[in-house]
Chains A and B, each alone.
Chain A
Amino acid sequence: MNEADRETRAVTLESGSRRGRALRGVPLPLLVPALVGLAFLLLPLLALLIRAPWRSLPEQLTSPEVWQALQLSLISATCATALSLVLGVPLAWLLARTRFPGRGLVRALVTLPLVLPPVVGGVALLLALGRNGVVGQWLDSWFGITLPFTTAGVVVAEAFVAMPFLVISVEGTLRAADPRYEEAATTLGASRFTAFRRVTLPLIAPGVAAGAVLAWARALGEFGATITFAGNFPGRTQTMPLAVYLALQNDPAAAIALSLVLLAVSIAVLAGLRDRWMTASS
């Protein structure tokens, strides 16, 4: 095949349909594992749908315990996200915009809850904030606050696990954002905090939203740290994942039904947020 021939072939390929061209452009060593990976992620969800006890689903889902657990899950995940935002965004700013000795180490420590088994995280929280914890004993004796076995404890456990997602996401956005906008604001008379609040924060809003969604999703599915730190009591600390796990012990059908609810709620919320926030920024 000579050079000219090849050229014509290339042109014919180019002029093919858009979709055809797109698929042809993907190298097989990438396409095959990609499709296997997709199947690997979707198959278990599909199996959940196939084996779901559709007939008994209505009665499974109308039980007050399910609604109680769902309500608690949504409230505590939202509170944990709010807590993560209040503490995590400033932390991300500190990591992205200031220099201090040991910053690399602090960054690594912040991400530690990502790799820590959640149950270990829960035990660590007990040792820190429990009734006899390093800080918890003072909370108890000074303010009469004990976190374990309370809904506040659920929020704390979920925030502990979810906040690193937010911090990482926001820090990345901050690093990508042009710091000179903050400088411009200070030359206009804004203090560093005003510059952050009125200029930087609106600029990184999409990243903050994405981080909040990630954190919320992680908090919603949190199991290990929650049951270890906050325990399991219906209506107070029993979130959906805990209900699912305990139902699995003696009534797998109920567990599947509960999981479907959790799945549906998170898909609905994530899809809704995606439309409203994430695409608005681009």
Chain B
Amino acid sequence: MTDTDETPAGVRADDTRGDGLDARLVVDRGSFRLDVALTAAPGDVVALLGPNGAGKTTALRALAGLVPLTGGRLRLDGTPLERTPPEARPVGVVFQDYLLFPHLSALDNVAFGPRCQGVGKAEARAQAAAWLERMGLADHAGTKPRRLSGGQAQRVALARALATRPRLLLLDEPLAALDARTRLEVRAQLRRHLAEFEAVAVLVTHDPLDAMVLADRLVVVEHGRVVQEGAPSDIARHPRTDYIAQLVGLNLYRGRAEGHTVRLESGPAVATTEDLSGPAFVAFPPGAVTLHRHRPTGSSARNLWRCEVAGLETHGDQIRADLTGELALAADLTTVAAAELGLHPGVEVWAAVKAAQTHAYPA
């Protein structure tokens, strides 16, 4: 996806040598089993995306060596790491709530890693100061973690992880602890730092926006399995599970394609412009749905279903209607339109979608 050409100036070229990450993480924990394959080339930023309890954090901890593998393999730049204890792995971690050592200043937090690697005290502090400088935190070197803002703490945590010169950088929900405004700013900074990072970075998040902005590649994990992986734009366009469809805001159905029609497992058919055959997904955005109180006569829409309003909620400046009936779907409409239609739960409506606004792809 990306290669050594993109390394920023000042980083030695041979730092980027290696094969990157090649792992299959198997962790058995009673009723829960994680089995996730992950590969990444140096310079890649991979996001593990999934709902709570999917096993993302377990996967991250397994990569760091904090959870033992029950099976599978873990190779970093060709070196097997399955039996290597966490302190001997060339892995840096930015924890969800950062876990900055409260009794040490920002500088000493960053110098901690180099010190443990045997760097002399003065040299370690000089390195730490350079890292803080790079993060724009030179003025806060002597500050204790509890006096740092959320965004500053996040950058100190990143500097601390990078100061050990890891070949694999792990970030656990790096933006979850921040409020909405700081988040925007920190996300942009983090993106810049990750782009500069020459080795493999893996981040765990449940926020699709974070994943899409920060990562080159998404790996979607549900119930301990990889359900889909690929470039963010590809995943956004072709979701393969309800969870992803919901994340990216699409109505998603699975069925069998015959030419320009996808016959759904639940019964009705959806007309599309794509010409396919065999198992297929078909998706359309809630905004593509138009609602009518009576069966429209002159409509050009080829997809028309009789539904019932199950619930209504405001969604930004729009109203999202959850519909059941011939087809379960979500429809977005303006507040004015909702009022004119007199929508309320229990009302019968007709939902129409133009074939050109649906999108079918092989399952």
Contact with A along B31-71 (1 / 0, CB 8 A): 00000000000000000000000000000000011100000
Whether, in the assembled complex, A199 has its beta carbon less than 8 Å from a beta carbon of chain B, the answer is yes
Contact assessment for B66 and A188 in the assembled complex, using a CB-CB cutoff below 8 Å: no
Chain B residues within 8 Å of chain A by Cβ, number: 23
Q: At the interface with chain B, which of A69-77, A108-116, A189-197, A231-239?
A: A189-197
How many angstroms from the CA of A192 to the CA of B88 in the assembled complex? 11
Contact assessment for B103 and A188 in the assembled complex, using a CB-CB cutoff below 8 Å: no
Contact with A along B102-116 (1 / 0, CB 8 A): 110000000011001
Whether, in the assembled complex, B85 has its beta carbon less than 8 Å from a beta carbon of chain A, the answer is yes
Given contacts A183-B66, A183-B86, contact A189 B117 (CB under 8 A): yes
Whether, in the assembled complex, A62 has its beta carbon less than 8 Å from a beta carbon of chain B, the answer is no
Whether, in the assembled complex, A137 has its beta carbon less than 8 Å from a beta carbon of chain B, the answer is no
Contact assessment for B87 and A189 in the assembled complex, using a CB-CB cutoff below 8 Å: yes
In the complex, which of the residues A180, A183, A185, A189 has the most CB atoms of chain B within 10 Å of its own CB atom? A189
Contact assessment for A191 and B87 in the assembled complex, using a CB-CB cutoff below 8 Å: yes
A-B contacts, 10 of them at CB < 8 A, read A183-B86, A184-B101, A187-B65, A187-B86, A187-B89, A187-B161, A189-B116, A190-B112, A192-B87, A202-B103
Residues of B within 8 A of A203 (CB): 101-103
Whether, in the assembled complex, A274 has its beta carbon less than 8 Å from a beta carbon of chain B, the answer is no
Q: Report the minimal beta-carbon distance from B148 to chain A, rounded to whole angstroms.
A: 16
Contact assessment for B101 and A190 in the assembled complex, using a CB-CB cutoff below 8 Å: no
Report how many A-B pairs have Cβ atoms within 8 Å.
Answer: 58
Whether, in the assembled complex, A54 has its beta carbon less than 8 Å from a beta carbon of chain B, the answer is no
State which of B65, B88, B93, B117 has its C-beta within 8 Å of the C-beta of A184: B93
How many angstroms from the CA of A183 to the CA of B93 in the assembled complex? 10
Given contacts A181-B101, A203-B102, contact A190 B87 (CB under 8 A): yes
Interfacial residues of chain B within 298-314, with CB under 8 A of chain A in the complex: none
State which of B64, B86, B112 has its C-beta within 8 Å of the C-beta of A198: B112
How many angstroms from the CA of A180 to the CA of B164 in the assembled complex? 19
- Specify the main secondary structure of chain A where it touches its partner: helix
Residues of B within 8 A of A183 (CB): 66, 86, 99
Interface size class of A (residues with CB under 8 A): 10 to 19
Whether, in the assembled complex, A186 has its beta carbon less than 8 Å from a beta carbon of chain B, the answer is yes
How many angstroms from the CA of A203 to the CA of B104 in the assembled complex? 10
In the complex, which of the residues A178, A181, A184, A186 has the most CB atoms of chain B within 10 Å of its own CB atom? A184
Q: Report the minimal beta-carbon distance from A142 to chain B, rounded to whole angstroms.
A: 38
Whether, in the assembled complex, B160 has its beta carbon less than 8 Å from a beta carbon of chain A, the answer is yes
Residues of B within 8 A of A185 (CB): 101, 112, 116
Contact with A along B65-94 (1 / 0, CB 8 A): 110000000000000000001111101110
Q: Report the minimal beta-carbon distance from B314 to chain A, rounded to whole angstroms.
A: 36
Whether, in the assembled complex, B95 has its beta carbon less than 8 Å from a beta carbon of chain A, the answer is yes
Contact with B along A53-64 (1 / 0, CB 8 A): 000000000000
Contact assessment for B112 and A188 in the assembled complex, using a CB-CB cutoff below 8 Å: yes
Residues of A within 8 A of B87 (CB): 186-192
Given contacts A189-B87, A189-B113, contact A184 B95 (CB under 8 A): yes
Contact assessment for B95 and A180 in the assembled complex, using a CB-CB cutoff below 8 Å: yes
Residues of A within 8 A of B116 (CB): 185, 188-191, 194
Contact assessment for B99 and A188 in the assembled complex, using a CB-CB cutoff below 8 Å: no
State which of B93, B101, B117 has its C-beta within 8 Å of the C-beta of A187: B93
Of chain B, the residue at the smallest CB distance from A181 is B99
Residues of A within 8 A of B160 (CB): 188
Given contacts A183-B86, A199-B101, A202-B103, contact A189 B95 (CB under 8 A): no
Contact with A along B157-186 (1 / 0, CB 8 A): 000110010000000000000000000000
Contact with A along B279-311 (1 / 0, CB 8 A): 000000000000000000000000000000000
Contact with B along A159-199 (1 / 0, CB 8 A): 00000000000000000001011011111111110100011
Residues of A within 8 A of B161 (CB): 187-188
Q: Report the minimal beta-carbon distance from B83 to chain A, rounded to whole angstroms.
A: 15
Contact assessment for A184 and B164 in the assembled complex, using a CB-CB cutoff below 8 Å: no
Residues of A within 8 A of B103 (CB): 202-203
Known: A187-B66, A202-B103. 15 other contacts (CB 8 A): A181-B101, A184-B95, A184-B101, A185-B101, A185-B116, A186-B85, A187-B64, A187-B91, A187-B92, A187-B161, A188-B164, A190-B112, A191-B87, A194-B116, A203-B101
Of chain A, the residue at the smallest CB distance from B160 is A188
Interfacial residues of chain B within 212-234, with CB under 8 A of chain A in the complex: none
Of chain A, the residue at the smallest CB distance from B163 is A188
How many angstroms from the CA of A184 to the CA of B88 in the assembled complex? 13
How many angstroms from the CA of A192 to the CA of B99 in the assembled complex? 17
How many angstroms from the CA of A188 to the CA of B91 in the assembled complex? 8
Of chain B, the residue at the smallest CB distance from A201 is B103
How many angstroms from the CA of A178 to the CA of B93 in the assembled complex? 17
How many angstroms from the CA of A188 to the CA of B64 in the assembled complex? 10
Of chain B, the residue at the smallest CB distance from A178 is B99
Of chain B, the residue at the smallest CB distance from A198 is B112
Residues of B within 8 A of A191 (CB): 87, 116
How many angstroms from the CA of A180 to the CA of B67 in the assembled complex? 12
Given contacts A189-B87, A189-B164, A190-B87, contact A184 B99 (CB under 8 A): yes
Of chain B, the residue at the smallest CB distance from A180 is B99
Residues of B within 8 A of A186 (CB): 65-66, 85-87
Residues of A within 8 A of B117 (CB): 189
How many angstroms from the CA of A245 to the CA of B291 in the assembled complex? 95
